[in-house]
Amino acid sequence: MLRVLVTGGNGQLANCIKEVSVNHKDSINLVYRSSKELDITDREAVYEAFQEEDYHYCINTAAYTNVDGAEKDIENANQVNQIGPENLAEVCNQNNIVLIHISTDFVFDGLQSVPYSEKDSTNALGEYGRSKLKGEQAIESVCHKYFIIRTSWLYSGHGSNFLKSMLKYGRERDSLSVVYDQVGTPTYAIDLAEVIFSILQSRVDTYGIYHYSNEGVASWYDFAKAIFDINKVDVQLLPIRTDAYPLPAKRPSFSVLDKGKIKKLLKIEIPYWRDSLKKACNTLE
């Protein structure tokens, strides 16, 4: 039986992994550690955690994800998104454990007009993206067996995310303004969890960086409109430009990811974003 440690065990993706894991309980034993139970920025604590059991894989879902907060809270963002992954990479490398690490489309500057492949140059615009990029680079420098999965616009019925925020605000207000000039792909975290289990079960060893999101392209406005249409929320939705709603952190205007590499590796078909959104909405209370 595979033994797997999941860090960030109370977060959105970890909860989706728990949800999907019921289909794999006979072949995979998952141990979850919340950020309180295992602080990945504490090198000694990380080393101790890996003495408890002989793990085959570590899935790192722990992350500092406050994009705007990171502009001022640079030290914490770097601790969690760079130093933490580096600690995990070191101990995984020493113990022959495969590290699966989740990264982001925010490592790109959004200046392309075609989907970003794993070979495209990175150029993060804000401190959050830079901290995540440093985490990737730290893993690459110290670990031989790793999968770095860049994803985008993650949402689900768990945790705090755009889907849940839009439903809350849409039911409370008469109108909402959402930007239409930032384009990417919403990703259902359950679908990402399924992909992670595909990696675990297939035991593939073609290590490196991979991109995964749902299929298709949308603006945040398109995403919000679909959420309201599917859930029959009656709210006036107004499209606005990014410069009309200034935020501390600059976002990439285009961050669609090319998924060809992971499709070929795992021989999978990736769901269209609207189809997955419908599934997600059906699970909400």
Other Cβ atoms within 10 Å of 29 Cβ, number: 15
Sequence letter at residue 166? M
Residue 60: which residues within 8 A CB-CB, separation 6 or more?
7, 8, 40, 84, 85, 88, 99, 100, 101, 102
Instruction: Give the alpha-carbon dihedral of 240, 244, 245, 251, to 10 degrees.
Output: 80
- Residue 195 contacts residue 257 (beta carbons within 8 Å): no
Other Cβ atoms within 10 Å of 25 Cβ, number: 10
Kindly report the backbone phi and psi dihedral angles of residue 150, in degrees, each rounded to the nearest multiple of 5, phi listed first: -85, 130
Listed residue (30, 33, 15, 6) closest to 164, CA to CA: 15
Query: For residue 59, what are the CA distances in angstroms to 7, 31, 74, 255?
Result: 6, 10, 24, 24
Active site annotation includes 128 = yes
Task: Give DSSP secondary structure letters for 105-169.
Answer: GGGS-S--SSPBPTTSPP---SHHHHHHHHHHHHHHHH-SSEEEEEE-SEE-SSSS-HHHHHHHH
221-222-227 Cα angle (round to 5): 95
| Options 57, 64, 116, 128, the catalytic residue | 128
> How far is 252 from 202, CA to CA, in rounded Å?
34
For 270, the 3-state DSSP assignment is coil
> How far is 60 from 114, CA to CA, in rounded Å?
29
Catalytic residues: 128
